Amino acid sequence: MPGIEKLPLEETLEDSPQTRSLLGVFEEDTAAISNYCTQLYQAMQRIYDAQNELSAATHLTSRLLKEYDKQRFPLGGDDEVMSSTLQQFAKVIDELSSCHAVLSTQLADAMMFPISQFKERDLKAKTDFLLLTDHDTAINRYSRLSKRRDNDKVRAEVVEDVYTSRKKQHQTMLHYFCALNTLQYKKKTALLEPLLGYMQAQISFFKLGSENLTQQWEDFLGTIGTSVQK
Amino acid sequence: MPGIEKLPLEETLEDSPQTRSLLGVFEEDTAAISNYCTQLYQAMQRIYDAQNELSAATHLTSRLLKEYDKQRFPLGGDDEVMSSTLQQFAKVIDELSSCHAVLSTQLADAMMFPISQFKERDLKAKTDFLLLTDHDTAINRYSRLSKRRDNDKVRAEVVEDVYTSRKKQHQTMLHYFCALNTLQYKKKTALLEPLLGYMQAQISFFKLGSENLTQQWEDFLGTIGTSVQK
């Protein structure tokens, strides 16, 4: 993919003001993506929850209609026509609830899964950077050292500390730069993939609905309409 | 409609044990219908609420995508292809949210309205019967009266009381019998009407979705798929 900006990994050891400034731009961009993606994630979670609730409520309605026969109605409870009509309603509404359940599963796999992964895995990388403060502490100790007359043992310890923390910082920055670069590579896909998944799931749902259900339902409703008018 | 049982209105003045017993059967049936309808009402309310939430969440997602252009992304925020792709997603998801909104409205009018009316208007008629206790109190006073020596004024008052309360009871029973008979006439329609409304709304939704959206979406997804792979 062309036009994607990169943090230069070779600059991580130097830690120059220019690199720090470029890092700042990347961090700002990451914060903006993170904020936007979190909003989109929440909206998609709402869609997914509502779809699940719709599926469950539709299933419950179908189950209630199936249970009509088990109710004890002292008057006219043995009405065959009413009973079989409600059983047919139960059946078609159950089929619709199956379509809803398929849609829920597809939304889970093709929409929620990729956006959750991106949110949990790629957007969380930035918190690792907090480790860098270790190095700042070591540098501080080292700079105070030169002004005082300390013994060789303390001096050797502080130098060792600076070396260790600088090595640690270098590794952390390498990871961090990699994570921020990866985010730049992934950010478009991260937005588009769940949207594509959402659309595909909706198209399948409408196809399933219109091909398998609509004609069957219309015939059924025609029959009911006539028998209710009688 | 044949086979519908009726409480005899001409028996309301007599208030015989036979009528009371028949009334008991009607009351039991009414309680069973009331219980069943309330469960169905709650399930339908859940469907309706979930559908509204789905509609709102879909609309929110579309709005977020429209707002992508307004975000400040320091890196690659001026990407024309990404921007126009998300605008197209916003457009088709907005169309879907309109379909959801139409479905919500149809469910409100054709499902929730009739079942709410039946629940609020017809099933509540039974509570009126509580008034009858007035008459029992008057009869009680009258029966205690004959055992004591009271003056004519008190006797006349009590007799007047019995007359008034009996008249009131007769009227109340007439209303009550009518209400219970009406319920028997309406109970089948009360169950079938919201179900028919629900089915019609779902059929319209699938038609609207498959006719107006599916083909358009598939073309769009084809284009997106190609440009994302590039």
**Environment class of B15 (CB within 10 Å of its CB; exposed 0-12, middle 13-18, buried 19+):** middle
> How does pLDDT run across B172-189, given as a tens digit for each residue?
888 888 888 888 888 888
When comparing pLDDT for A3 and A145, which is higher? A145
Nearest CA in chain A to B215: A203
What's the complex ipTM? 0.83
- Of the candidate CATH numbers 3.40.50.1100, 1.20.1270.60, 1.25.40.10, 3.30.70.1110, the domain formed by B23-229 belongs to 1.20.1270.60
Domain residue extents for chain A:
15-125+190-229
Q: How far apart are CA B221 and CA B215, in angstroms?
A: 10
When comparing pLDDT for B226 and B27, which is higher? B27
Q: Which amino acid is at A175?
A: H
Give the Cβ contact number of residue A51 at 10 Å: 25
Instruction: Note the pLDDT of residue A147.
Output: 59
Nearest chain A Cα distance for residue B13, angstroms: 24
Q: How far apart are CA B53 and CA B59, in angstroms?
A: 10
Residue listed under structure tokens 């025609």: A222
When comparing pLDDT for B136 and B22, which is higher? B22
Q: How far apart are CA A60 and CA A72, in angstroms?
A: 20
> How does pLDDT run across B215-224, given as a tens digit for each residue?
777 777 777 7
Strand, helix or coil for residue A61: helix
**Cβ-Cβ contacts under 8 Å, A188 against chain B:** 79, 82, 228
When comparing pLDDT for B141 and B182, which is higher? B182
Instruction: Note the pLDDT of residue B53.
Output: 97
User: B61, A74: Cβ pair inside 8 Å?
Assistant: no
**Cβ-Cβ contacts under 8 Å, B73 against chain A:** 29, 32-33
Of A43, A68, A221, nearest to B199 by CB-CB distance is: A221
Q: Is the dihedral of CA A182, A183, A187, A189 positive or negative?
A: positive
Q: Which amino acid is at B59?
A: H
**Cβ-Cβ contacts under 8 Å, A197 against chain B:** none
- Of all residues in chain A, the percent with pLDDT exceeding 90 is 36
> How does pLDDT run across A205-219, given as a tens digit for each residue?
998 888 777 777 777
Q: What is the DSSP code string of chain B?
A: -TT-----GGGTTT--HHHHHHHHHHHHHHHHHHHHHHHHHHHHHHHHHHHHHHHHHHHHHHHHHHGGGGS--TTTTT-HHHHHHHHHHHHHHHHHHHHHHHHHHHHIIIIIHHHHHIIIIIGGGGGGGGGGHHHHHHHHHHHHHTTS---HHHHHHHHHHHHHHHHHHHHHHHHHHHHHHHHHHHHHHHHHHHHHHHHHHHHHHHHHIIIIIIHHHHHHHHHHHHHHH-
**Cβ-Cβ contacts under 8 Å, A80 against chain B:** none
Position B123 pLDDT exceeds 50: yes
Q: Is the dihedral of CA A49, A50, A55, A60 positive or negative?
A: positive
Confidence of residue A2 (pLDDT cuts 50, 70, 90): very low
Instruction: Note the pLDDT of residue B1.
Output: 41
| Most confident range, picked from A12-16, A87-91, A172-176 | A87-91
Nearest partner of B40 among A86, A107, A136, judged by Cα: A86
A15-125+190-229: what fold? Substrate Binding Domain Of Dnak; Chain:A; Domain 2 (1.20.1270)
